[in-house]
Amino acid sequence: MRRGLAWFAGAVLVLGLPAWAADPDLPFSSGSTGADGPLTFREIALGRNAAGMAYDPVRQEVVLFGGQSSNVGVGDTWVWRGGNWLRVLPASSPVDRWGHAMVWDEARGEVVLFGGTRSTGRLNDTWTWNGTNWVQRTPASSPTTRDGHAMAYDAARQRVVLFGGNGGGQETWLWDGVNWSQANPPTRPPGTGSSAMAYHAARQECVLFGNFGQTWVWDGANWAQRNSLRTPPARNFPTFIADGTSNTLLLFGGGNRSDTWSWDGTDWTERSPATSPAGRQNHAMVWDNARGRGVLFGGAIPSVDNFSADTWLWDGNNWTLWSSKAQVFDMSARPDGIWNFTTIHVPAGVTVQFNRNAGNTPVRWLATGDVTIDGTIDVSGQTGFNALPPGVAALGGPGGFHGGRGAIAFDSSASTVGSPGQGPGGGAPGTAQQTNPENLRDGQNGSHNGTYGNAFLQPLTGGSGGGGGSSTAGSNGGNGGGGGGAILIASSRDIQLNGLIRANGGDREWSGASFGGFGSGGSILLRADRVTGGGTLQAFGGQQNNPNGRIRVEGYVRSLTGSRVPVEVVGLPAANGELNRIGTLAIQSVRGVNVAQPPSGNLQTPDVVFTDAGPVQVVVTGTGIPDGTPVRLRITSTSSVIESGPQAMAAGTVTFNVTVPRGVGTLQASAQFNAP
């Protein structure tokens, strides 16, 4: 190992290479075999609200423009051809906006865009898209500035029909490819800025539906209200398109609803798909003739930050999720949590989340080539939501530990004590409805005990769970947050961080009886020749003012300029790529009974069952942990914690003699490595 230290000292000399030697391949190797190939995710348009979207049948692509993202107007153009969303960069483009409308003008073979709003106010400009570029039109007359208007193409009369909008009252306007002209029908729908309109080819009329719950049709000369036996509830900002699988129109959502309706020209029918997008409003939807699917994108969904970026497809009977901001990396196929990639790319707008494997190992992504993170990697623990079913814990991130459960109201044992958080630093539970002079009511915060380690051995472990709060006769105790997960990303070349990696502990919530504790932050370890970029690293415990996680960055060049909470530990990369794979502990046997590997850790289906309390022998085995390392054992029952050790690792094994309580509980072994 000391030879490794000497090697590191020599390796520093590579920083003296001449300036023209761009991105040299420095000595560090991640140990990746490259057997898993490149890791890629579906690229998506950034999440947005109130965008415009139309289908271009000539180029067989869906065209998306603008909208509001992170409460700021955007002015980007994207196309979808059945795979990834692709951003295009036209020579000219409309200014950023949201609340505009777009339709395909079949007679002229182009997409028409009108109006919208931006930070400086409403707009009334007209643009057309020819598949390559946006062209601003200069009609002799034009509707006044407005947003939230409805627009459809009337194929029978070869005109684009525009109605209403915020600032547009009850006006109806027609576009002939050159100019706008105002129609003056004797009958008009109520003025609205949140309705939707579609063309019904079978009846050669435009149909309007919106926030008054009324159905109106336009025949080219006048509006008429249609009454039907059934009608969708009134709503704001739904979407309405022709359903290419039938002679009907398709309405989805609006007003944060998730219902699907069909209009056949005389009546409405509520559909019953097996799956549906989440309730939303101000989303976009078109019919894609080439793929025979309705395409729905984005919108405003309650509790979704920066608006949705999901894409859903309608086949005439059911909805299918195509892609979304959250894309799940399934760890179940790798018991050790190790992947051997060539390159890794997380696109902007994408949030990578994880399905944990049975052993709940940390994530270890190894790469032979470059790693670029433009989006988000999230191994955070779950918040102790009030909405969790009674007795269900907030999950830790991969490699992290569950939060303690809040005590159940009217518990049959008359106990008001919550469950302790899991993990080596799990928070103690709330035990009684007392806050003064000592707070016994609330669960205590999880902690991430011990030092991070040295250049040769870093304990890549997740955070510990917060304790569950105590209950009252009428209210359950608050659930503790799950501990943040743990992730190692190692590259034989460079890691470019432009986005975000977070391994935060789960927040706590008030249940009405008590708080649970915060889950502690997890671990982030980045190791490469060069680690650069303006992105963000987070491993805090529930809230940003509790920076108790671990971040370590190793590279010959380290130039991260973004926020890091907590502040990272830095060093040169470990000489041996095998160090990216080692450092695990496992409970091998309890009272002579071998534990299935990996153990489930599920309190509903225990790995080992005893009928009585009493003394037991617990054997713990380690991989890649040096002899002499102190190991501790922690036993958590439904309401108490028993700790044993430390015992020194010898020949890869540690034996504990402890007394286990009656009931269901968990056993967890942990080791910490102090810097030399």
Q: What is the pLDDT of residues 580-593, one digit of tens each?
A: 665 677 788 888 87
Q: What is the pLDDT of residue 16?
A: 28
pTM beyond 0.85: the answer is no
* Domain stop point among 518, 552, 582: 582
Q: How far apart are CA 4 and CA 139, in angstroms?
A: 74
List the end-to-end C-alpha distance of the chain, in Å, as a whole number: 12
What CATH number does residue 645 fall under?
A: 2.60.40
- Is residue 412 one of the residues assigned to a domain? yes
Domain hosting residue 121, numbered range: 52-324
Coil, helix or strand for 301? Answer: coil
Whether 189 and 313 map to the same domain: the answer is yes
Q: What is the mean pLDDT of the chain?
A: 87
What CATH number does residue 134 fall under?
A: 2.120.10.80
Q: CA-CA-CA-CA torsion for 14, 15, 21, 24, nearest 10 degrees?
A: 50
The verdict on whether omega for the bond into residue 566 sits within 30 degrees of 0, i.e. cis, is: yes
Whether 387 and 525 map to the same domain: the answer is yes
- Is residue 255 one of the residues assigned to a domain? yes
Whether 428 and 577 map to the same domain: the answer is yes
**Pick the residue with more confidence: 80 or 605?**
80
- Percent of the chain exceeding pLDDT 70 equals 88
Whether 40 and 140 map to the same domain: the answer is no
Evaluate if residue 141 carries a pLDDT over 90.
Answer: yes
* Domain stop point among 582, 600, 635: 582
Q: What is the pLDDT of residues 341-391, one digit of tens each?
A: 999 999 988 899 999 998 889 999 999 999 999 999 999 999 988 767 766
Q: What is the pLDDT of residues 206-238, one digit of tens each?
A: 999 988 899 999 999 999 999 999 999 999 999
Structural domain count, the chain: 3
Q: Is 227 exposed, middle or buried (0-12, 13-18, 19+ CB in 10 A)?
A: exposed
Is 456 within 8 Å of 674 (Cβ atoms)?
A: no
Residues 21-40: b if buried by 16+ CB within 10 A, e if exposed: eeeeebbbbbbbebebeebe
Going by C-alpha positions, the residue among 594, 596, 606, 672 that lies closest to residue 637 is 606
- Is residue 313 one of the residues assigned to a domain? yes
Whether 40 and 99 map to the same domain: the answer is no
C-alpha neighbours within 13 Å on the C-beta side of residue 38: 10
Q: What is the pLDDT of residue 598?
A: 56
Tokens 């002079």 belong to which residue? 437
- Is residue 378 one of the residues assigned to a domain? yes
Q: What is the pLDDT of residue 399?
A: 92
The verdict on whether omega for the bond into residue 437 sits within 30 degrees of 0, i.e. cis, is: yes
- Is residue 28 one of the residues assigned to a domain? yes
Whether 344 and 454 map to the same domain: the answer is yes
Whether 171 and 104 map to the same domain: the answer is yes
Whether 287 and 349 map to the same domain: the answer is no
Whether 627 and 651 map to the same domain: the answer is yes
Whether 269 and 405 map to the same domain: the answer is no
- Is residue 557 one of the residues assigned to a domain? yes
Whether 132 and 190 map to the same domain: the answer is yes
Evaluate if residue 9 carries a pLDDT over 60.
Answer: no
Q: 3-state SS string over 481-533?
A: CCCCCEEEEEECCEEEECCEEECCECCCCECCCCECCCCCCCEEEEECCEEEE
Q: What is the pLDDT of residues 439-479, one digit of tens each?
A: 999 999 998 754 444 443 446 789 999 999 999 988 889 99
Most confident of 202-206, 626-630, 637-641: 202-206
- Is residue 676 one of the residues assigned to a domain? no
Q: What is the pLDDT of residue 597?
A: 60
Evaluate if residue 126 carries a pLDDT over 80.
Answer: yes
* Domain stop point among 324, 354, 376: 324
Backbone dihedral angles phi then psi of residue 589, each to the nearest 5 degrees: -155, 155
Whether 353 and 473 map to the same domain: the answer is yes
Q: How far apart are CA 262 and CA 336, in angstroms?
A: 49
Q: How many CB atoms lie within 10 A of CB 393?
A: 25
